[in-house]
Amino acid sequence: MVWALQGKAYLCSCMAENENFFAPALESWFADNARDLPWRHTRDAYKIWVSEIILQQTRVAQGYDYYMRFVERFPDVQSLASAQDDEVMKYWQGLGYYSRARNMLAAARDVVARFDGIFPHTYSDIRSLKGIGDYTAAAIASIAYDLPYAVLDGNVYRVLSRLFDIDLPIDETAGKRYFAQLADTLLHREHPGLYNQAMMELGALVCLPTGAACDKCPVASHCAAYAAGTVALRPVKQGKVTVKHRYFHYFVVAHKGNTWLHRREGNDIWRNLYEFPLIETPDPQPLSQLRCTEAYRTLLGDAGSIKFLAPPFECKHVLTHRIIHATFYVVEVEAVPAALHDMRCVPWSEVGEYAVSRLTDIFLHRCMAGLWNCLPQE
């Protein structure tokens, strides 16, 4: 292995020369190049926590406005803990991965119950909160309280694997354990929060997954992968993600100025969010085929005459392990089908007040943008 032959000796020589040989250069670069972000102007652990959770699976450009709205409405852990679930989900709408919001709400209520509404000050207590893993706990502890815990996210994995030209897979137990030890060894213990942010920023702005800007890297002179020409090969990932395709057919039912929404239940990524009546099929199905299914007859079989008001609207939502293909049919019915009686009847003017699933949110934004002018109004 490259690491076995080269990386360990390289690391030992660097560490012998300077316990943290690149921290000064890294932190100096960060001072000159860091993005001006609101959560970097506070030591409030609550707000740092909110920013970290929002930025999981979310780009900074998208997460920025969500963060500002969220902390304006819920400025502290007490205000979040006392909020209604539906309101929190509404503020989260559009960010996806809604389990993050559910976990935040549970954690906030736990802080109130166990810590008298004061965000915990130790790594172990922070780590005990729902939805907070090793990375998030380390980020909060180091940035808010200057506790010496190294962060290890995708950016840091990439920087370290290239800096020492390590070919250990980052998605296997041995690799994860080794990188955790390496990150801890290199941590600048006098300024752990500053150092952690600089490492993550370097990965986000310079040491990119593709097209790394090595000519702008403040530690390129120390980078083993740069010297060996293996930057594009690092980090190494062993496993392959199996992607499952799912096919959703939504029926936006219109009748006398109203439509119907149902709330998703069970252990689902969109649990407790609202969406239009849904038929899921195991494979793609055109409307002509869908109309012959038992699910279609159950949903609209007693609706009387059905008028399709516009061409189907198609979109897809790409997640880590699945791709959801959605088709929305806007239909006006003569009578309200029995299948809708257990769903929520909502005037068109109030649909936007509900916290909805990501796909439904995409559809509604297209409607509200004037792309669909077919919705009947009473």
Rounded Cα distance between 327 and 324, Å, is: 10
Structural domains in the chain, CATH included, are: 2-233 (1.10.340.30), 244-368 (3.90.79.10)
27 is catalytic: no
The one-character DSSP state at 199 is: H
First to last CA, the chain: 70
Q: Which two tokens stand for residue 357?
A: 């699933």
Pairing relationship of beta strands 244-254 and 278-281 according to DSSP bridges: antiparallel
* Global pTM value: 0.81
Long-range Cβ pairs for the range 369-376 (8 Å, 24+): 372/310, 372/313, 372/330, 374/309, 374/310, 374/330, 375/252, 375/254, 375/309, 375/330, 375/348, 376/254, 376/257, 376/309, 376/332
Of the candidates 17, 19, 27, 52, the residue annotated as catalytic is 52
Of 101, 42, 116, 32, nearest in space to 66 by CA: 101
Q: How big is the chain by its Cα radius of gyration, in Å?
A: 25
Distances (CA, A) of 219 to 55, 159, 162, 210, 226: 26, 10, 11, 18, 10
For residue 19, what pLDDT is reported?
47
For residue 374, what pLDDT is reported?
58
For residue 44, what pLDDT is reported?
98
Q: Which three-class secondary structure state does DSSP give residue 61?
A: helix
Rounded Cα distance between 40 and 96, Å, is: 24
For residue 11, what pLDDT is reported?
54
Taking the chain (378 residues) in runs of 10, the rounded mean pLDDT of each run is: 46 48 89 97 98 94 96 98 96 89 97 98 98 98 98 97 95 94 94 97 96 95 93 89 90 94 84 93 95 96 93 87 92 96 93 90 76 55
Size of the chain, expressed as the number of residues it contains: 378
